[in-house]
């Protein structure tokens, strides 16, 4: 399913300007959101992040029109994953952005992968480093080649996801999500300054932890100390919260009471957002 140029289409094929900078230079953004019961979980947060990210790149998007289109696609698909893609639009040859920008955006929808919600994951530490000095490290830009190659290697080695350190050797993120480690009932996650995307679910989990009386902290983490954690979890908008079962050759317990409490609280929050029973989330 595809929303493009104000119209909802079946399938995902449509005419496209081959001079679009999203295609030629990766000059654009994307966002992925969970849709259940025809409603988008944390819709306003997704729209706000898209608008802020576009502003960082130097162009504006029509948030009201985008929100209406996302709602239309969500209602049409019911349950699934919504991907919104925004580019700066077409421009002449060269790197300098055209002024004014004429952004182009579209929305695609696909079923949520069966069994992926809150499912455990294993992580393969990648030799590719996350560049925490790049403005793009905190944005979901269209330049995802590092993640693509790391995911390919992780799958070839029998893991679900890649794990990235930054150029200083600190923990950054997984290929498609934020990471948290747990010690003595305290939940710790890398700061955004370590090359971390400000994940929608990351923010929700930090809030839920505090409401449950679980201490939280944001600080740089060495991989060695994460490997010694009681538990590690990954979060993203489609999976929710996933217990990490292994990082390389280091394994973690299948169950942890604090992880279970956070998972339950997040399920309830997503269910409330979308107006569905908790077991659906």
Which carries the bigger pLDDT value, residue 40 or residue 15?
40
pLDDT score at 86: 97
pLDDT score at 268: 97
Across the chain, what does the average pLDDT equal? 95
Distance CA 185, CA 204 (A): 18
Instruction: Decide if pLDDT at 10 tops 90.
Output: no
CATH of domain 121-274: 3.20.10.10
> What are the pLDDT digits (tens) for 44-68?
999 999 999 999 999 999 999 999 9
CATH of domain 2-110: 3.30.470.10
pLDDT score at 266: 97
Instruction: Decide if pLDDT at 78 tops 90.
Output: yes
Phi, psi dihedrals of residue 233, rounded to the nearest 5°: -130, 155
Domain ranges for the chain: 2-110, 121-274
Does residue 221 contact residue 132 with C-beta atoms inside 8 Å?
A: no
Q: How far apart, in Å, are the Cα atoms of 6 and each of 63, 126, 152?
A: 14, 40, 35
Distance CA 240, CA 266 (A): 7
Global confidence as pTM: 0.94
pLDDT score at 4: 84
Report residue 14's pLDDT band, with 50, 70 and 90 as the boundaries.
confident
> What are the pLDDT digits (tens) for 136-191?
999 999 999 999 999 999 999 999 999 999 999 999 999 999 999 999 989 999 99
pLDDT score at 7: 84
How many CB atoms neighbour CB 44 within 10 A?
Answer: 11
pLDDT score at 171: 98
> What are the pLDDT digits (tens) for 107-118?
999 988 878 899
Strands (E), the chain: 2-4, 7-9, 28-36, 39-40, 80-87, 104-110, 121-130, 161-166, 171-174, 178-183, 186-189, 215-218, 231-236, 240-247, 250-251
pLDDT score at 116: 86
Average confidence (pLDDT) over 92-99 = 92
Closest CA to 52 of 135, 117, 121, 124: 135
Closest CA to 79 of 281, 273, 239, 278: 281
> What are the pLDDT digits (tens) for 224-261?
999 999 999 999 999 999 999 999 999 998 889 999 99
> What are the pLDDT digits (tens) for 192-219?
999 999 999 999 999 999 999 999 999 9
């Amino acid at each position: 399913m595809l929303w493009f140029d104000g119209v909802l289409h079946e399938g995902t094929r449509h005419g496209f300007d081959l001079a679009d900078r999203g295609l030629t230079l990766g000059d654009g953004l994307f966002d992925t959101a969970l849709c259940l019961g025809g409603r988008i979980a944390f819709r306003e947060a997704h729209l706000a992040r898209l608008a802020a990210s576009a502003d960082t790149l130097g162009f504006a998007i029509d948030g009201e029109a985008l929100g209406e289109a996302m709602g239309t696609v969500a209602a049409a698909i019911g349950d699934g994953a919504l991907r919104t893609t925004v580019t700066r639009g077409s421009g002449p040859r060269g790197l300098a952005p055209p002024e004014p920008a004429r952004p182009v955006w579209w929305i695609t929808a696909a079923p949520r992968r069966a069994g992926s919600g809150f499912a455990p994951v294993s992580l393969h530490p990648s030799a590719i480093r996350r560049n925490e000095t790049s403005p793009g490290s905190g944005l979901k830009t269209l330049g995802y080649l590092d993640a693509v190659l790391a995911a390919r290697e992780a799958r070839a080695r029998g893991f679900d996801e890649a794990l990235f350190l930054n150029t200083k050797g600190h923990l950054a993120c997984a290929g498609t999500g934020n990471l948290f480690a747990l010690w003595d009932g305290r939940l710790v996650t890398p700061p955004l300054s370590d090359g971390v995307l400000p994940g929608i679910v990351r923010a929700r989990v930090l809030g839920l932890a505090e409401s449950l009386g679980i201490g939280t902290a944001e600080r740089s983490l060495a991989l060695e100390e994460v490997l010694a954690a009681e538990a590690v979890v990954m979060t993203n908008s489609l999976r929710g919260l996933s217990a990490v079962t292994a990082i390389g050759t280091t394994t973690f317990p299948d169950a942890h009471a604090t992880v279970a409490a956070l998972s339950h609280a997040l399920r309830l929050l997503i269910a409330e957002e979308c107006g569905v029973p908790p077991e659906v989330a």
